[in-house]
């Protein structure tokens, strides 16, 4: 099917993908197509929309800011939205996270984190070359973040450009000690600049969940060997795992924290990399060669910062955590129901995120069932985007109990229908 549109869509095989669905507007948990169809957005439009689409408070703040200051160079200049947001972010996160570096996507937030880590060791006069990451990790789609992420079908073509990282086995249930032992061995060998992890849930790697206690142990090993810990909370941040940030559940603080996706409530692209004072200090010098050399044109765009400030006001004033807790409980009940269904395996939940694996032989990201199920569910008015044979539900927090019931009924019926087709 050759579309007339010149648009090349992300993660889309245009030769076989259905025509892109044109969306005219969105509100709450729903998208509305140009022909008036409603689609329940069960994946928060790729994990970014937290409260719901077009939250009135964020919309109003954006409108007002757009008329006042659109964009300004951020080297040598500053503005109130960026200052207010940085103060709010530092207030929301524990010591020693005291400095905020802006960029515009999750990938750039992680690139900045990796550069800060290497810059830190170099600037204090003991360069360290190695980054350590988890098996099945996903940290973005730029060359650096792909390098930190798992290798596979997504990046096979770019392999010649990817740098090596030390890889730890994923802390599977009952095998957490193997991860800790591997990390300790790597640290003992020396030269480790930083460990980067997605706390509690590996998102794009298949919604793989791991315990807070293991994260706390990894932090302890980082302390022991003076290795920096980078928490990539691009997906897990802003309530997804049941707390504002996933690290809170382990009672730990990373040295570098990457935030994006939900930072504006999902309204505008923005990212922030927070770091400990000692990392800023290492770059603070009369020697200009120790400058942190990173920028993007739209760094700290005032309208995006305003959306993020409004998002934090929503968090403060609307009892969002209570809403998140209620969603966690509803998700738990659905997960319990799914575990009793024999077509599913490994029903699991961390915070507001629920996931199951469909029991098929064909597994992995390219599993046939993924696209088939996607289309079946879209026809039923539900947007879910399986990762291979893994189906996950990550809705905006405004979703109601009735809407969730509709969603899970569609999921179960859809899977049964597709399995009948696949098997016949
Ligand atoms: C989505 C994601 C990224 C990349 O964010 P973009 O805004 O898509 O560049 C990085 N890390 C994690 C954990 C993510 O889920």
pTM of this structure: 0.97
- In this structure, of 9-13, 308-312, 368-372, 408-412, the range with the lowest mean pLDDT score is 368-372
Cβ(386) to ligand 1 under 6 A? Answer: no
Angle between helices 56-66 and 302-317 (to 10 degrees): 150
**From ligand 1's centre to the CA of 197, what distance in Å?**
12
Q: Which two tokens stand for residue 163?
A: 């740098």
Q: Distance of CA 58 to CAs 78, 87, 305, Å?
A: 21, 18, 11
Cβ(234) to ligand 1 under 6 A? Answer: yes
For range 70-98, the mean pLDDT: 97
CB atoms within 10 A of CB 176: 19
**From ligand 1's centre to the CA of 402, what distance in Å?**
30
Rounded to the nearest angstrom, the gap between the alpha carbon of residue 287 and the centroid of all alpha carbons in its chain is: 36
Question: Which structural domains are found in the chain, ordered by start?
Answer: 58-317 (3.40.640.10), 319-423 (3.90.1150.10)
The bridge status of strand 344-350 relative to strand 353-358 is: antiparallel
CA distance 388 to 271: 28
> What per-residue confidence (pLDDT) applies to 30?
98
Cβ(250) to ligand 1 under 6 A? Answer: no
**From ligand 1's centre to the CA of 109, what distance in Å?**
9
DSSP 284-344: -SS-GGGS-----TTTT-HHHHHHHHHHHHHHHHTTHHHHHHHHHHHHHHHHHHHHTSTTE
Atom of ligand 1 nearest to the CA of 260: 7
For range 241-269, the mean pLDDT: 98
Q: How many CA atoms lie within 13 A of 31 on its CB side?
A: 20
Atom 11 of ligand 1, nearest CA residue: 139
Taking a C-beta distance cutoff of 8 angstroms, is the pair 379, 334 a contact?
A: no
Cβ(139) to ligand 1 under 6 A? Answer: yes
Rounded to the nearest angstrom, the gap between the alpha carbon of residue 252 and the centroid of all alpha carbons in its chain is: 19
Identify which of 56, 2, 55 has the alpha carbon closest to the alpha carbon of residue 397. Answer: 55
Q: Does residue 290 register a pLDDT over 80? A: yes
CA distance 36 to 351: 33
Atom of ligand 1 nearest to the CA of 202: 13
Share of the chain above pLDDT 70, in %: 99
Rg value, the chain, Cα: 22
Q: Which residues contact 216 (CB under 8 A, 6 or more apart)?
A: 250, 251, 252
Q: Does residue 285 register a pLDDT over 70? A: yes
CA distance 378 to 211: 33
Share of the chain above pLDDT 90, in %: 96
Cβ(52) to ligand 1 under 6 A? Answer: no
**From ligand 1's centre to the CA of 114, what distance in Å?**
14
> What per-residue confidence (pLDDT) applies to 81?
98
- Per-residue pLDDT of 347-400, as tens digits, reads 999 999 999 999 998 877 788 899 999 999 999 999 999 999 999 999 999 999
For range 250-267, the mean pLDDT: 98
Report residue 424's pLDDT band, with 50, 70 and 90 as the boundaries.
very low
Identify which of 80, 140, 63 has the alpha carbon closest to the alpha carbon of residue 104. Answer: 140
DSSP 288-301: GGGS-----TTTT-
For range 138-163, the mean pLDDT: 97
Report residue 38's pLDDT band, with 50, 70 and 90 as the boundaries.
very high
Cβ(104) to ligand 1 under 6 A? Answer: no
Beta bridge partners of 91: none
> What per-residue confidence (pLDDT) applies to 363?
77
> What per-residue confidence (pLDDT) applies to 421?
84
Cβ(105) to ligand 1 under 6 A? Answer: yes
Residue with tokens 């290492």: 282
For range 204-216, the mean pLDDT: 98
Q: Tell me, what DSSP letter sits at residue 261?
A: G
Q: Does residue 1 register a pLDDT over 70? A: no
Taking a C-beta distance cutoff of 8 angstroms, is the pair 159, 147 a contact?
A: no
Atom 5 of ligand 1, nearest CA residue: 106
For range 259-265, the mean pLDDT: 98
Beta bridge partners of 323: none
For range 191-214, the mean pLDDT: 98
> What per-residue confidence (pLDDT) applies to 366?
80
Taking a C-beta distance cutoff of 8 angstroms, is the pair 353, 200 a contact?
A: no
> What per-residue confidence (pLDDT) applies to 368?
86
Rounded to the nearest angstrom, the gap between the alpha carbon of residue 152 and the centroid of all alpha carbons in its chain is: 19
């Amino acid at each position: 099917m050759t579309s007339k549109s010149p648009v090349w869509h992300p993660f889309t095989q245009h030769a076989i993908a259905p025509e892109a669905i044109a969306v005219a507007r969105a509100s709450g948990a729903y998208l509305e197509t140009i022909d008036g169809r409603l689609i329940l957005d069960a994946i928060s439009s790729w994990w970014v929309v937290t409260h719901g689409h077009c939250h009135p408070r964020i919309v109003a703040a954006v409108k007002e800011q757009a008329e006042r200051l659109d964009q300004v160079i951020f080297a040598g200049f500053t503005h109130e939205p960026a200052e207010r947001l940085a103060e709010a972010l530092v207030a929301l996160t524990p010591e020693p996270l005291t400095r905020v570096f802006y960029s515009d996507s999750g990938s750039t937030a992680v690139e900045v984190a990796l550069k800060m880590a290497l810059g830190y060791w170099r600037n204090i006069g003991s360069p360290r070359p190695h980054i350590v990451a988890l098996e099945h990790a996903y940290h973005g789609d730029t060359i650096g973040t792909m390098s930190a992420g798992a290798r596979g079908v997504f990046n096979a073509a770019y392999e010649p450009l990817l740098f090596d990282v030390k890889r730890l086995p994923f802390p599977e249930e009952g095998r957490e000690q193997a991860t800790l032992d591997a990390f300790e061995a790597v640290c003992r060998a020396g030269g480790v600049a930083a460990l980067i992890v997605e706390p509690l849930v590996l998102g794009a790697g298949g919604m793989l969940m791991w315990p807070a206690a293991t994260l706390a142990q990894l932090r302890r090993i980082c302390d022991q060997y003076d290795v920096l810990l980078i928490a990539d909370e691009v997906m897990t941040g802003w309530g997804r795992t049941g707390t504002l940030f996933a690290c809170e559940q382990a009672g730990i603080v990373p040295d570098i924290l990457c935030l994006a996706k939900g930072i504006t409530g999902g309204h505008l692209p923005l990212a922030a990399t927070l770091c400990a004072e000692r990392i800023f200090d290492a770059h603070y010098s009369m020697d200009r060669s120790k400058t942190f050399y990173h920028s993007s044109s739209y760094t700290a765009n005032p309208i995006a910062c305003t959306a993020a400030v409004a998002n934090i006001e929503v968090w403060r004033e609307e009892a969002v955590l209570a809403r998140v807790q209620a969603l966690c409980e509803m998700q738990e009940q659905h997960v319990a129901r799914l575990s009793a269904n024999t077509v599913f395996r490994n029903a699991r939940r961390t915070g507001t995120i629920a996931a199951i694996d469909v029991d098929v032989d064909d597994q992995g990201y390219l599993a046939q069932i993924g696209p088939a199920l996607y289309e079946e569910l879209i026809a039923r008015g539900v947007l879910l985007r399986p990762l291979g044979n893994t189906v996950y539900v990550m809705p905006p927090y405004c979703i109601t109990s009735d809407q969730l019931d509709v969603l899970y009924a569609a999921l179960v019926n859809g899977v049964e229908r597709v399995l009948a087709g696949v098997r016949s």
